[in-house]
Structure 1
């Protein structure tokens, strides 16, 4: 095995040398922010890059250096990383591809990695650089590939993989999904992973775990839902750890390498909108948690939402900055939230740097529900979203007919911050579950104390209803619900009668192409421009799968070789590690354990995100926060919308920041992507647009930046179709195919 690996290494190095690849690497590059070998650039997720070539004066001269087509009809939200002069991307029918970062020429292709973590992968190398690995999750497994040869590493874990369903204190055969769309983060010889177990009743718990990169051994587990005897256990009902799920980190984790601290932005508990079975504050739900990265021991925490009923996950990367406040330098960690607030803490102690007040909010009227009486609100730092929808703030571009419909709805609905959902009336929450700041939406200039936030005003409309048992045959009521759901959330892209359109494929008999697990993952995580529908009840997902021709008893998808485009190029492997078929799967947990006292009824609500532009613009913006004094330095709209504003660039765009990202440079430029394929270069000091271009395809994923032989490059994933409401630039003359686009200054 070792001899074979050595030969493969020599072969790969020889090939790389032929391509002009240089494998040298400064030992302290990571801490200097001069590489982009992590999802957010470096383990601190700052999206900050230290490079001098691209400046405010010449940024408007950027031009396309090369592009790499993905060559299939899939949508990818993958965030490329660059190590030395090799770039790693995802495309060509779910293949991981190594490219020469100077020319875009393929070095190797590992095909058929269907189920790879959608947003990216991790890179790790040994101190002597003799061992270089790509670390990623593939469906419910943790796997690795040799970064130089593209071959799977078979002596990792057990037979080349680690089963992520093991060790969650639930029957692992009943766990359908644990994989997060995010790659986790590397610290030393550890890969620290979050999860996305789903957010319905009885989803698995979202424990955070660290594995040894070389062996696959589980090194530590942090119970986000505390067990008996652990800190925070008394903030839950005594048996909650047996049935409550989620409380997971599905987004970006941040590592302070110098201190050895990993900061976790923890999500909400299940069920998000009705918590009668989880009375109490519910630690560590909706909390920023600081752990010793080596041991997983809790150092401190702060809960930003008590007993969450609004799905206000912490979804953006905590940012590490050094600020100068009142003449004193303080190392801080700041987190921006879905509901539009910025919380700033001393990195060592967890003490708030700016005042936070506990303010009273309305009580829930739902049976059995005990909403928390107060919620923490920053008292000095201004918020960055609106918190109410009124008749006066409705979208002015609505037709008179639509406005009148909304006037009537608002007469009976309630809209304000922290109004608990009800079964008696609609609750219009602003921002909703997809609002505020999300993954990829925060970055920092660490030394200047400036934090950049991309955010959107995007409402959710909730109304609770009682959970009813699923029937073996679809009832007329189920068919009507599915039809209503389709018309409200899917028809815009997939067309009338599910026949497909320019924005989305046909869904006729789509259930036959996916196993139930794959179908549930698709709905829960989204794909391309399709949003995630994490709050659809399990029974509804099952009914929809059957409605589309699926069989819940089939575990694997039905894709055949004839469905896949032919792969051309240097293919070195296919399929990753072959995991044995699981013949012992049990049904997902669907009820409380027999010995647990629980509410008589359960309630759920639709996701309520049909109205992306419910209020007046701006709908999406980028902010610069000066955390030295807790003020907003500047704000600019971001993204292009053509449905309402007809191309007015001052409005921003609905969904303008979902699946987008940014790069902040040491030359005080903020690169950011927005809806409509727009790429901006903002002056970091005042927000002035220094350069703007429009991609031929929609941008997704986190942009990246790197330098090779003194030349600085910007790489952007432009592999998605445009929204039907946007201008379709892919049809203009000379448009590039979907893929990865790399910019640089002219020679």
Structure 2
């Protein structure tokens, strides 16, 4: 079936090629309002998400002269993951208790503040302007809605949608009142008068479907929907059980969508179906899960697709932005789209037809020993060299381990299985390299589009899985968990936060689990905050129990809510966005299969197994340059700094930290890359030589931005996160900068 599907896709692609060629001859719908690669009005710079900038000032020769030009402090202790966008003389950032702030690009002076936008998508927003430039809008998602703000005044546009918002829970062919989470973690992409947007519905059983939609930027009307889980009669429906579309979730685009604005094609990196690691209720190849899908951006019609993982059992979403490049191969100039994957491969296709540029072979892999599971017998392996390891062995264990840890793992590996596409089991551990957070992820691809060079940030991050039989998701704590949590609270928390959690010398903790992401909660407990010390002795199981005790769900990604609603200092023009009408018909979340639907009697689950990120030898994070004209790796360099497991002198740590961030490629031949440890690098794009390096006062966890004003170029780095205990805290050093957006420039000659 799969071979037929891939051949059918290519055949249809040739038909599309003829059609699109005619469109190009008689005029296309290219948006000429904002030139590409000379501004930074999108998350990735331009709609193609290339992170590429046409520079003429910052060069290889002078990049080492970069200095801090100004800093915009965020004004609170919250970490922000927001990637600034720049329009004309205004930069839009997030800070001051989840406020959206417009600042001047030359000085950082505040222009306006729209306060109190708790729940706004953490990674950024979109900008759109009318052709006459009289209507300028910031489009963003917040608390499961799309909203718009006037980019000049900072006021909510209440004519958008219904009283200023569009409810993203509606239109998904599920009871919208039962949907708790749907908004994406990343901004959408603008094409013409549309915003094309994905979702992050969660990864549990019965999560909502991740259908991709496009909305009119003026009215808020949904213009089209692409069913990533096909409905009856749609292409790909036969790759699932007949009723799967009624209960399967995920298959979503939670990351970056790229658009070829000249051809009007949107490229979707589609994620995994739920449940990620056990697929008995979704036997089949599961289109369009784990697929690169090309759509007509104006209509949502599928043009072609390619599935990079069949019947995914490893959470190998496609998440980095597909990169649009022009290559010269065998004397032919070809416009291509390249996508990097979590499991360490690069797939390259003709941008119009979908035909592979480099051979891809369907390769046999092990079957599953789980009852009822049908792991797909083959998986597509491209001929381009991989950028990650695919196995943890005794030989490649982390050499920095002390003997006790090394011996522990030598014994553990005896009973575990490791290797590419080894299916998870309940009988043994599978040590997956890369794991769920490994390989290439959001923000981790960039390109020099005209030279055919692809840049990939990659992480050698292990996941350890073992399936366990479970009942429907557990809500209540067991008696043992309650006793353990109460004991911890009484001994470590009660003095400051009160016996009833209502506060004392410390703040109230009532329902704090509904206000924080689990990772943020965990970071606060283990590392401390303000006057609160860190409690590094608390084990993961107790942490999760404590979080649930305080009202949270460790497997969810609750949208941040901050209880402090007082307006920040500065030019506040509005607060809270559009008023969302209270939901008086809130239905129960879906927790079981619909009636009269065949389904397995038993479900299995596993945690993410992220406790040993540096299990294999470093470097754990690298920047890799591919020459797609030749199909070779051009160079590879470790990035980041990490003290993880390093024994003895830890002044330098291990090369290549376990967390990777983002990059920018310039036409002057520089690759700027951020990495763990507050690192900012400038590499020579041709050979990977390090041209410049600096360390910021706070951790970096966002895509950098770059822009030009009055002939001068500025590089923007969001340095607002806390250093973790396995990196080096530079925030306490003399001369440290405040948390904020740090702007670099070449100083003017004196």
Establish whether TM, by shorter chain, passes 0.5: yes
Which of 546, 549, 557 pairs up with 1:547?
A: 549
Instruction: Judge conservation of contact 2:518–2:547 (CA < 8 Å) in 1.
Output: no
Q: Alpha-carbon deviation of 1:513? A: 2.8
Indicate the SS of the match to 2:245. Answer: helix
Q: Alpha-carbon deviation of 1:585? A: 1.0
Which of 183, 189, 214 pairs up with 1:185?
A: 189
Q: Alpha-carbon deviation of 1:482? A: 8.7
Match of 2:511 in 1: 512
1:424 counterpart = 2:424 = no
Q: How many angstroms apart in 2 are the aligned matches of 1:215 and 1:49?
A: 32
Instruction: Judge conservation of contact 1:499–1:508 (CA < 8 Å) in 2.
Output: no
Match of 1:76 in 2: 80
1:360 counterpart = 2:364 = yes
Residues 583 and 135 of structure 1: CA distance in aligned 2, closer, same or farther (over 3 Å): same
Q: Deviations over 1:623-668 (max 9, x none)?
A: 11000011000000000112344568694334231xx110100000
Residues 199 and 667 of structure 1: CA distance in aligned 2, closer, same or farther (over 3 Å): same
Which of 415, 436, 439 pairs up with 1:436?
A: 439
1:713 counterpart = 2:717 = no
Q: How many angstroms apart in 1 are the aligned matches of 2:507 and 2:406?
A: 34
Match of 1:631 in 2: 632
1:389 counterpart = 2:392 = yes
Aligned length: 691
Match of 1:333 in 2: 337
Match of 2:610 in 1: 609
Q: How many angstroms apart in 2 are the aligned matches of 1:683 and 1:480?
A: 57
Q: Deviations over 1:160-213 (max 9, x none)?
A: 000000001111010000011101100000000000000100000000000000
Instruction: Judge conservation of contact 2:512–2:550 (CA < 8 Å) in 1.
Output: no
Indicate the SS of the match to 2:401. Answer: coil
Match of 1:701 in 2: 702
Residues 635 and 649 of structure 1: CA distance in aligned 2, closer, same or farther (over 3 Å): farther
1:172 counterpart = 2:173 = no
Q: How many angstroms apart in 1 are the aligned matches of 2:433 and 2:543?
A: 26
Match of 2:8 in 1: none
Residues 687 and 48 of structure 1: CA distance in aligned 2, closer, same or farther (over 3 Å): same
Q: Deviations over 1:559-594 (max 9, x none)?
A: 54xx35661111000000111211211121000001
Residues 556 and 93 of structure 1: CA distance in aligned 2, closer, same or farther (over 3 Å): closer
Question: Which deviates more, 428-437 or 468-477?
Answer: 468-477
Q: How many angstroms apart in 2 are the aligned matches of 1:274 and 1:84?
A: 49
Residues 289 and 344 of structure 1: CA distance in aligned 2, closer, same or farther (over 3 Å): same
Q: Alpha-carbon deviation of 1:542? A: 10
Q: How many angstroms apart in 2 are the aligned matches of 1:621 and 1:376?
A: 24
Residues 44 and 499 of structure 1: CA distance in aligned 2, closer, same or farther (over 3 Å): farther
**Mapping of residues 238-387 of structure 1, within 5 Å:** 238-379=242-383, 381-387=384-390
1:212 counterpart = 2:213 = no
Match of 1:465 in 2: 468
Instruction: Judge conservation of contact 1:202–1:590 (CA < 8 Å) in 2.
Output: yes
Indicate the SS of the match to 1:157. Answer: coil
Instruction: Judge conservation of contact 1:44–1:320 (CA < 8 Å) in 2.
Output: yes
Q: How many angstroms apart in 1 are the aligned matches of 2:562 and 2:81?
A: 21
Q: How many angstroms apart in 2 are the aligned matches of 1:529 and 1:446?
A: 41
Indicate the SS of the match to 1:743. Answer: strand
Match of 1:105 in 2: 109
Match of 2:667 in 1: 666
Match of 1:447 in 2: 450
Indicate the SS of the match to 2:362. Answer: strand
Q: How many angstroms apart in 1 are the aligned matches of 2:313 and 2:553?
A: 33
Match of 2:411 in 1: 408
Match of 2:20 in 1: none
CA RMSD of aligned residues (A): 2.9
Indicate the SS of the match to 1:402. Answer: helix
Q: How many angstroms apart in 2 are the aligned matches of 1:442 and 1:431?
A: 17
Q: How many angstroms apart in 1 are the aligned matches of 2:98 and 2:105?
A: 20
Q: How many angstroms apart in 1 are the aligned matches of 2:641 and 2:741?
A: 20
Match of 2:619 in 1: 618
Residues 365 and 480 of structure 1: CA distance in aligned 2, closer, same or farther (over 3 Å): farther
Q: Alpha-carbon deviation of 1:139? A: 1.4
Indicate the SS of the match to 2:159. Answer: coil
Q: Alpha-carbon deviation of 1:474? A: 2.3
Match of 1:7 in 2: none
Q: Deviations over 1:108-164 (max 9, x none)?
A: 000000011100000000000000000000110000000000000000000000000
Residues 509 and 339 of structure 1: CA distance in aligned 2, closer, same or farther (over 3 Å): farther
Q: How many angstroms apart in 2 are the aligned matches of 1:473 and 1:615?
A: 37
Q: Alpha-carbon deviation of 1:523? A: 3.8
Q: Deviations over 1:251-308 (max 9, x none)?
A: 0000000010000000000000000000000000000000000000000000000000
Q: Alpha-carbon deviation of 1:408? A: 1.3
Instruction: Judge conservation of contact 1:458–1:654 (CA < 8 Å) in 2.
Output: no
Residues 393 and 510 of structure 1: CA distance in aligned 2, closer, same or farther (over 3 Å): farther
Instruction: Judge conservation of contact 2:115–2:567 (CA < 8 Å) in 1.
Output: no
Indicate the SS of the match to 1:699. Answer: coil
Structure 2 alignment gaps of length 5 or more: 1-30, 497-502, 527-540
Q: Alpha-carbon deviation of 1:530? A: 11
Instruction: Judge conservation of contact 2:657–2:677 (CA < 8 Å) in 1.
Output: no
Q: Alpha-carbon deviation of 1:478? A: 5.2
Residues 621 and 550 of structure 1: CA distance in aligned 2, closer, same or farther (over 3 Å): closer
Q: Deviations over 1:94-116 (max 9, x none)?
A: 00000000110000000000011
Match of 2:90 in 1: 86
Match of 1:573 in 2: 574
Q: How many angstroms apart in 2 are the aligned matches of 1:626 and 1:320?
A: 14
Instruction: Judge conservation of contact 1:75–1:527 (CA < 8 Å) in 2.
Output: no
